[in-house]
Amino acid sequence: MDSVRPAAVAGAFYPDDPVQLDGDIADLLDGVASFDPPLRFPKALVVPHAGYIYSGAVAARAYDELAPGRGIVKRVILLGPTHQVAVRGLALPAALSFATPLGNVPVDQAALRLVADLPQVVASDAAHQFEHALEVQLPFLQKILGEFSVVPIAVGRASAQEVVQVIERLWGGRETVVLISTDLSHFHAYDEARRIDRSTITRIASLVPDISHEEACGATPLNGLIAFAGARKLSLRLLSACNSGDTAGGKAQVVGYSSFALYDGSNVALQDAGPVLLATARGAIEHRLGLRAAPPGTIEPAWLRHTAASFITLTRDGQLRGCIGSLAATRPLGVDVAENALAAAFLDPRFQQIEGKEWPQVSIEVSVLSRPKSIRFADEADLMAQIVPNEDGLILECEGRRGTFLPQVWESLPDKNQFMAELRRKAQLPPETRLARCKLMRYRVTKWKEGAARAA
């Protein structure tokens, strides 16, 4: 193989045009009906590997879960079965990078050296040359993570314990995610496949490493991860499951798909996150006001480095005193909260800057946004039927203009028509602007609010 392993299944399993591919992945991610707060991301994933029209939605659910790790995850250990070439052991490529229509992904050479001395690890360009199980994951990873390196391992005839040994050496810290590529049962009738896959999913969820290759084509790396997860006491969550009869295929012979996320013990409970985020916002403002020295050099919680978007709302005597935030997750949550707190206090054009003498009467609310998802609608009536009052925050984009309302705005604008009319006005759009011409996105928030304002 040359130094770059070319894309083998672009144009077949997924589009070979980069613009179309980027758009298709964005659409699949937008279709994920999950609005979890981005306070954690998985240490390992199980993801299907069929063509995107068949299993792309199930895969997207897993990658949506990984999104808060952007900027943190720099290495992906990618293990999947060999479909084209038989090989004994776990095969590494000689290529220095893997190509997709979205660009080249470098192969982590240092990681390869960490496992090269294991007897079950072999070198085989042939095992990788036409293999789709690993390749189809790369465009999703490029879209979600940005820059990262990959450790592509094609798993042939091997034992689960041999897989465990490789995972142990490569497990690393928060910079590393392990991804197992596997589909479930193959070519059974729809109802029979559902019965088989339900049993398989139940055993995976129970961390029972006895999956057969008739139940999952990637059974060997899957069983290795399950065994490793049981020993490490990782928690596991089923994210999505279906089969090709539910997506783009007939029901006479179907292939099953599922995605799982596995977590280590570094997650934070929502009740514990709130005080930290409120203290971050308050500390940033008080430092700017000269009311406190710069905070001492402490090790911040790891989850504050997750990529996330936030809004900071300031109130005084129950009245709005400033509100600034981010709609796109582009920087670490701790940074986003601190910068938005400063903007709400000193840069909101609707208000005078906060002054030290009034600061004790000001209360802070921190809202952490889920990833915004596009709303697909046939017409305005369909859109209005889909909107969920008191839960949906909405982003309205039209003619180069944009406005948003947090879910909290429903408290003062409970009527959908009035809510949307005011959102048009906030976006500086004419009242007669037809929503059918606009792009609408929704998000949810997890929010924490200080109690009574602090006494002077």
Task: Outline which parts of the chain fall under CATH 3.30.1490.150.
Answer: 373-445
User: Which residues face 214 on adjacent strands?
Assistant: none
Nearest alpha-carbon partner for 91 in 184, 157, 2: 157
Task: Outline which parts of the chain fall under CATH 3.30.700.20.
Answer: 270-369
Which pLDDT value is given to residue 296?
55
Q: Where are the beta strands (DSSP E) in 344-438?
A: 362-369, 373-374, 393-398, 401-405
What architecture is domain 270-369?
Answer: 2-Layer Sandwich (3.30)
Task: Outline which parts of the chain fall under CATH 3.40.830.10.
Answer: 4-263
4-263: CATH class? alpha beta
Q: How many CB atoms lie within 10 A of CB 74?
A: 17
Q: How far is 177 from 57, CA to CA, in rounded Å?
A: 20
Q: Do 375 and 393 meet the contact criterion of CB atoms below 8 Å apart?
A: no
- The tens-digit pLDDT sequence of the chain (456 residues) is 579 999 999 999 999 999 999 999 999 999 998 898 888 999 999 999 999 999 999 999 999 999 999 999 999 999 999 999 999 999 999 999 999 999 999 999 999 999 999 999 999 999 999 999 999 999 999 999 999 999 999 999 999 999 999 999 999 999 999 999 999 999 999 999 999 999 999 999 999 999 999 999 999 999 999 999 999 999 999 999 999 999 999 999 999 999 999 999 767 788 889 999 999 999 999 999 999 876 555 567 889 989 999 999 999 998 999 999 999 999 999 999 999 999 999 999 999 999 999 999 999 999 999 999 999 999 999 999 999 999 999 999 999 999 999 999 999 999 999 999 999 999 999 999 999 999 999 999 999 999 744 332
Q: How far is 2 from 105, CA to CA, in rounded Å?
A: 14
Nearest alpha-carbon partner for 316 in 454, 144, 439: 454
Q: How far is 419 from 388, CA to CA, in rounded Å?
A: 12
| Residue-wise burial string across 148-157, b where 16 or more C-beta atoms lie within 10 A, e elsewhere | bbbbbbbbbe
Q: How far is 258 from 317, CA to CA, in rounded Å?
A: 50
Alpha carbon distances (Å) from 147 to 21, 70, 75, 181, 248: 17, 9, 9, 20, 32
Q: How many CB atoms lie within 10 A of CB 328?
A: 11
Alpha carbon distances (Å) from 104 to 197, 356, 374: 35, 52, 28
Alpha carbon distances (Å) from 431 to 346, 376, 382, 413: 31, 22, 19, 16
Tens of pLDDT, residues 80-119: 999 999 999 999 999 999 999 999 999 999 999 999 999 9
373-445: CATH class? alpha beta
Q: How far is 64 from 127, CA to CA, in rounded Å?
A: 29
The pair of structure tokens assigned to 333 is 């949550």
The pair of structure tokens assigned to 395 is 């982003």
Q: Do 349 and 356 meet the contact criterion of CB atoms below 8 Å apart?
A: no
Nearest alpha-carbon partner for 150 in 81, 77, 69, 101: 77
Q: What is the DSSP string of 10-21?
A: BTTTB-SSHHHH
Distance of CA 16 to the CA centre of its chain: 23
